[in-house]
């Protein structure tokens, strides 16, 4: 469904991605894992048209999308859930959701999609008149996921959905991702937390300083001690330091 073929991206003189190749098949959740600054967000921004690769090609459902505008890419069926959720603080929850549907002309269809989002996340329905800024971190993540669904994507790009959330809330977000998967959604998931990522996905790519250094199924990546040590993720790292102190 999605194919990156030797994609390179630079920020001026800084090479952020070097010949990154990866594929996501229809119905899969694929994880892209890597430390700070490895280039994970840059991969997602290149797919969603926010950055243009200097080399290589990006294909979605068989056609090249390299160089298309972000609007065009959303219209083709790719939605990005950005890192840090980026909820509009002064808009109501419902208006935040409607922003996600700005390219949808069919109003009846939009209502149906909104109802689907509210069924998936009842807390958003309860709080639909509240301002975005009044939501907790977990609720804002639900809102960001719901907003992406509003554009009726076939592929979702999720940038660190577990970042900064308490373990209980991470579990809720993980359940939502599993529900999307069951509904037939295809996802490329960026994570620093290997436990979360490998629990959700079937295949993973490990990115280090802009290069793919390993690609395997998640069962094998989970058995790889070097990977698990490097990417245990924030929550577990904190838990372990805490245990070491006592």
| Chain contacts with ligand ATP (rule: CB under 6 A) | 11, 14, 16, 34, 36-42, 192
Q: If you search the block for the tokens 């807390």, which residue do you land on?
A: 123
Q: Shortest distance, CB of residue 190 to ligand ATP, whole angstroms?
A: 7
Q: Shortest distance, CB of residue 221 to ligand ATP, whole angstroms?
A: 17
- Nearest CB to ligand ATP, comparing residues 39 and 204: 39
Q: Shortest distance, CB of residue 127 to ligand ATP, whole angstroms?
A: 28
Burial of 164 (0-12, 13-18, 19+ CB in 10 A): middle
- Nearest CB to ligand ATP, comparing residues 40 and 66: 40
- Nearest CB to ligand ATP, comparing residues 110 and 144: 144
- Nearest CB to ligand ATP, comparing residues 10 and 95: 10
Strands (E) in the chain, as ranges, are: 2-11, 14-24, 29-33, 55-60, 63-64, 78-81, 155-159, 186-191, 203-208, 211-217
Distance of alpha carbon 145 from the chain centroid: 9
Q: Shortest distance, CB of residue 2 to ligand ATP, whole angstroms?
A: 18
**b/e 59-74 (16+ beta carbons within 10 angstroms → b):** ebeeeebbebeeeebb
């Amino acid at each position: 469904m999605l194919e990156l073929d030797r994609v390179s991206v630079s920020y001026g003189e800084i090479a952020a991605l070097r010949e990154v190749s990866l594929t996501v098949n229809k119905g899969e959740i694929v994880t892209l894992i890597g430390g700070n600054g490895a280039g994970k967000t840059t991969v997602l921004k290149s797919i969603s048209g926010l950055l243009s690769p200097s080399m290589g090609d990006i294909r979605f459902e068989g056609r090249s999308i390299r160089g298309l505008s972000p609007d065009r890419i959303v219209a083709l069926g790719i939605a990005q859930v950005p890192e840090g959720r980026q909820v509009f603080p002064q808009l109501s929850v419902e208006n935040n959701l409607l922003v996600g549907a700005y390219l949808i002309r069919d109003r009846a269809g939009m209502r149906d999609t909104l109802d689907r989002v509210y069924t998936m996340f009842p807390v958003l329905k309860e709080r639909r008149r509240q301002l975005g800024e009044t939501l907790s971190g977990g609720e804002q993540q639900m809102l960001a996921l719901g907003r992406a669904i509003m554009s009726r994507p076939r592929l979702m790009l999720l940038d660190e959905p577990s970042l900064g959330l308490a373990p209980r809330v991470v579990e809720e977000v993980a359940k939502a991702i599993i529900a999307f998967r069951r509904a037939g959604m295809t996802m490329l998931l960026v994570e620093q937390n290997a436990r979360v990522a490998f629990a959700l996905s079937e295949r993973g790519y490990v990115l280090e300083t802009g290069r793919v250094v390993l690609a395997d199924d998640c069962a094998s990546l989970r058995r790889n001690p070097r990977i698990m040590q490097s990417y245990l993720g924030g929550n577990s790292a904190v838990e372990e330091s805490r245990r070491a102190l006592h």
